[in-house]
Amino acid sequence: MKMRNAAVCLLCLVLALGMGTACLSAEELPGAETYVITVEKALELASDNNLALQAARLELQHAEKQLIKAHADAAVNPSPVAIRQAEVEVEIQRLLLEQTRNQVDLEVRSAYYAVLSQMQKKAIAEKSLAQAEEHLEIIKTKAQQGMATKLDLVNAEKNVIQSKAALEAAAAEEELAVLNLKRVIGLGYSQPITIEPPEVAQEPIGLSPEEVVERVLASSLELLRLQWALELSQLQEESARNEYTAPLLKEIYTNRRMKAELDLREATRRVYLEAKRAWNNLKQAENQVKLAEKELEAAQENYRITKNRFDGGLEIPNNLLRAQIALTSAEHAVVTAIFEYNLARIRLLNLMGE
């Protein structure tokens, strides 16, 4: 009995740690509240539950306590540099908290749109399977009438098998995407949720490349952190300009200041390139969406024509099958292109601090 109780406790612990849920019986789970997840709701939940954010808040609290201690120590051993170091550490931890918040925001939005993308791909797979099964029934009828070959029948059966496998794969990918979203927003894996698509389409970013770069540079938390580091190194160098500081220490502080200046310059160049790359990625994604939509339009028209000709006895089954496969591929391409566009847009807005 003790071993059984220990096993039950261990199972509960594994579920609590690995799954993020309490140890509930099968009868209790169906009664759990179902969250309706919009992108705004996902961000709200992540703000409350994300573990990385919680850790960053604790680090900030620790730095604030260290600043209080530095002021207390200064009453015994006055040191403007030590106090400023503690102040900068608080500012850095606030900065890191903001960086973590931005990173979580990016992860949440990316995970949310990944779920939407997988849901759409699953819907496409379901429609494709229905078409394949309908096509198989038509071929069976034609085969009985001597109007379709055995090869036509085998190809139609193979297409059904492939469509079923594609649907199973799409369902599995959708499940993984949902689990990843739950992880990011801090929900238990067994927590029931429903995904609500955004009501309005994403508006284009009405900025020039130069304006985008300017905003990215102005809002870069990394550059702000390096500016603070430079300020601190300058303060240390200035405080050492007296007859009591050893020449070697003066050289060390000067080297630190020079290194901080170089770090800031290099980071500025790197952030500039990141901004340009993010802008280019967004423009390319926009063009890819337009291209994918045109290719889908062509595939739809090709399928319509081929289906009409097939129904009229003017097209062989294999041509209809190829047209159906091409249509499914084009539908997938549109979903993927829209997802990549949303991802590029989210990343650019994240760089701009929006």
Q: What is the pLDDT of residues 86-107, one digit of tens each?
A: 888 888 888 888 888 888 888 9
Quickly count: other Cβ atoms within 10 Å of residue 287's Cβ.
Answer: 12
- How crowded is the C-beta side of 208, counted as CA atoms within 13 Å? 3
Tokens found for residue 144: 């009985």
Tokens 């020079």 sit on residue: 258
Proportion of the chain in helix, strand, coil states, percent, rounded to 5: 80, 0, 15
Q: C-alpha angle with apex 327: 325 to 328, nearest 5 degrees?
A: 65
- The residue type of 131 is Q
pLDDT of residue 122: 94
The per-residue pLDDT for 29 is 45
Say if residues 41 and 112 touch (Cβ distance below 8 Å): no
- What pLDDT is attached to residue 24? 31
CA neighbor of 213 nearest in space, from 225, 203, 223: 223
Q: Report the alpha-carbon distance of residue 38 to residue 181 in Å, rounded.
A: 12
Torsion angle (degrees, nearest 10) of CA 121, 44, 350, 93: -140
At position 188, the amino acid (one-letter code) is G
Where residue 146 falls (left for φ over 0; alpha for ψ -120 to 50; beta otherwise) is left
SS3 95: helix
C-alpha distances out from residue 240 to 85, 86, 234, 313, Å: 15, 19, 10, 93
pLDDT at 51: 85
Angle, alpha carbons 229-234-235 (nearest 5°) = 100
Backbone torsions φ then ψ of 206, nearest 5 degrees: -85, 60
Using N-to-C axis directions, what is the helix angle for 80-144 and 150-185, rounded to 10°?
A: 160
Candidates 1.20.1600.10, 3.40.50.300, 3.40.50.670, 1.10.1040.10; CATH matching 32-194+203-351? 1.20.1600.10
Q: Which DSSP state fits 25?
A: -
Q: Is the dihedral of CA 52, 56, 62, 65 positive or negative?
A: negative
Per-10-residue mean pLDDT of the chain, 354 residues long, equals: 40 37 36 82 90 90 91 82 83 85 88 92 93 91 87 92 95 95 91 83 78 90 87 86 86 92 95 94 93 95 92 86 91 91 88 82
Virtual torsion, Cα 151, 153, 158, 163, nearest 10 deg: 140
**Where are the strands (E) in the chain, listed by range?**
35-37, 193-195
Can you read off the two tokens belonging to residue 26? 């099968």
Three-point CA angle 124, 130, 136, nearest 5°: 135
Q: With beta carbons less than 8 A apart as the criterion, state whether 61 and 96 touch.
A: no
The pLDDT value recorded for residue 161 is 96
CA dihedral angle for residue 222, residue 223, residue 226, residue 232, rounded to 10 degrees? -120
Q: Which of 203, 205, 181, 208 lies closest to 194 in space, CA to CA?
A: 181
How high is the pLDDT of residue 295? 95
Size of the chain in residues = 354
